[in-house]
Chains A and B, each alone.
Chain A
């Protein structure tokens, strides 16, 4: 099965830049997506197709992909950005649906 690997946790102070990585063998060829999940809430799409922000997502959220790694960057992280973040992508099997990374707990304090 295909795996996307994320660090279990990232910690920054308010106003600092937070970077969350996601590595996967198929990422050189496949888009990455990022979901934010606050405690007790449903996931919310924050980045799609590597670097696009859905309507309503603050500009401080950005994404990039290079080689086998995708990165979610939160520039000037706010306390309200504290959440679990999941990357999502597909493998090269031809299936449309993909897999989620294990998630990264972002602490902002």
Chain B
């Protein structure tokens, strides 16, 4: 059974850093194309970043240069290192497994972890 469990969220001051983790089971993270998707309070879904199985990474313009996505094969875990955090980054962050079938879409999601950026 595919499962994704996020952790690492919390309250952080503007300008601070946080690292989110997403522990996977039922499949191998490094053999899949993994993403982070976020949802600000009361708002819609926003794709944040992708790491392809080959290691290539891409980011939404809103986080480029501040966030870094990575994986650890030994722990079967996906990460999101978030630096220079802003109030606008406040959101629930979901990790999601992706499928490429012409389009890249998300077939499994974790339950999410809340990041609050506030002084």
Q: Chain A: residues with CB nearer than 8 A to chain B?
A: 30-31, 33, 35, 37, 41-45, 48-49, 54, 86, 88-90, 95-103
Contacts and interface: CB of A to CB of B under 8 A. Distances in A.
A39 to B, nearest CB: 11
Interface of B: 33, 35, 44-47, 50, 58, 94, 98, 100-107, 109-112
10 contacts: A37-B45, A41-B111, A42-B109, A42-B110, A88-B105, A90-B103, A95-B58, A97-B47, A98-B104, A102-B44
Contacts of B50: 96-97
Contacts, number: 64
Query: In terms of DSSP, what is the predominant structure of the interface of chain A?
Result: loop
A84 to B, nearest CB: 8
Which of B47, B50, B100 has the most C-beta atoms of chain A within 10 angstroms of its own C-beta? B47
Contacts of A33: 103, 105
Nearest to A1: B61
B35 A97 contact: yes
Nearest to B108: A45
Contact of A31 (B58, B103, B107, B109): B103
